């Protein structure tokens, strides 16, 4: 199964919305801003500099799961901007329940093929600069370290992993979106799904989406 839903993931300030909007246009998909589905309680908590816990996030993740599941069921292309920092959170997005000890994320190939995760990982100094320049957003730069320490992933989970090039420059949103659209359209025509990426966290070897 080729991807129907693409989740653009990563910490705050990595460019999820910028990439997601452009990818949705190129891929002829609907764009869903995950932040818009947070409760008022969650927004106020983050704005005050307090990180969310799993209990705070679960209703939000379940609401996103409902939209993702509908898109998969009806084969309606959807691009979602969502931090999706932990395997447990990504599991909720796909399955509507928390990850348990019996679940093997890497082996869930059918679901993974329907829902593709793309990690955006600029370097930390770039992230801090972006957050400090961003005016009027609920997420304060003081919470960045908490998100970075929470981020966990395995290569098998990722359709693509975008990191800075050898000169330390992170690709612009339009370039990332164009690469992803080409890979997604290629996987759709071939009936498969491309996957690439590093594992562990931001700053691993550069790897980007490519057609299978």
What's residue 139's pLDDT? 67
Domain ranges of the chain: 5-187
User: What is the rounded CA–CA span in Å between residue 192 and residue 97?
Assistant: 26
Structure tokens at 35: 């932040």
pLDDT digit string, tens, across residues 128-167:
898 888 665 556 677 888 999 999 999 989 999 999 999 9
Higher model confidence: residue 109 or residue 172? Answer: 172
**Coil vs helix vs strand at 191:** coil
Contact 116, 6 (CB under 8 A): yes
- 169 CB contacts (<8 Å, ≥6 apart)? none
Mean model confidence pLDDT for the chain: 84
Contact 105, 167 (CB under 8 A): no
What's residue 205's pLDDT? 33
Higher model confidence: residue 164 or residue 196? Answer: 164
Reported pTM: 0.82
pLDDT digit string, tens, across residues 89-103:
999 999 998 766 455
Structure tokens at 159: 């359709």
- 101 CB contacts (<8 Å, ≥6 apart)? none
pLDDT digit string, tens, across residues 100-119:
645 555 445 556 679 999 99
- What top-level class would CATH report for the domain 5-187? alpha beta
**What confidence tier does 171 reach under pLDDT thresholds 50, 70, 90?**
very high
Helix axes 173-190, 16-27, angle to 10 degrees: 40
Structure tokens at 198: 């590093």
Higher model confidence: residue 1 or residue 175? Answer: 175
Window from 5-14, 20-29, 178-187, 189-198 with minimum mean pLDDT: 189-198
Mean pLDDT of 194-200: 42
**What confidence tier does 208 reach under pLDDT thresholds 50, 70, 90?**
very low
């Amino acid at each position: 199964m080729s991807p129907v839903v693409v989740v653009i993931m990563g910490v705050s300030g990595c460019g999820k919305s910028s990439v997601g909007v452009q990818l949705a246009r190129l891929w002829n998909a609907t764009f869903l801003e995950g932040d818009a589905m947070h409760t008022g309680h969650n927004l106020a908590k983050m704005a005050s500099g307090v990180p969310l816990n799993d209990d705070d996030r679960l209703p939000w993740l379940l609401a996103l799961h409902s939209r993702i599941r509908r898109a998969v069921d009806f084969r309606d292309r959807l691009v979602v901007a969502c931090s999706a920092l932990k395997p447990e959170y990504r599991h909720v997005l796909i399955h509507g329940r928390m990850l348990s000890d019996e679940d093997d994320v890497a082996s869930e190939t059918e679901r993974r093929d329907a829902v593709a995760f793309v990690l955006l990982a600029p370097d930390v100094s770039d992230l801090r600069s972006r957050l400090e320049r961003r005016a009027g957003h609920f997420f304060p730069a003081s919470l960045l370290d908490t998100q970075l320490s929470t981020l966990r992933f395995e290569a098998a989970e990722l359709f693509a992993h975008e990191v800075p090039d050898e000169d330390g420059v992170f690709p612009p949103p339009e370039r990332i979106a164009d690469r992803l659209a080409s890979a997604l359209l290629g996987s759709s025509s071939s009936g498969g799904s491309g996957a690439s990426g590093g594992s562990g966290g931001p700053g691993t070897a550069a790897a980007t989406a490519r057609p299978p």
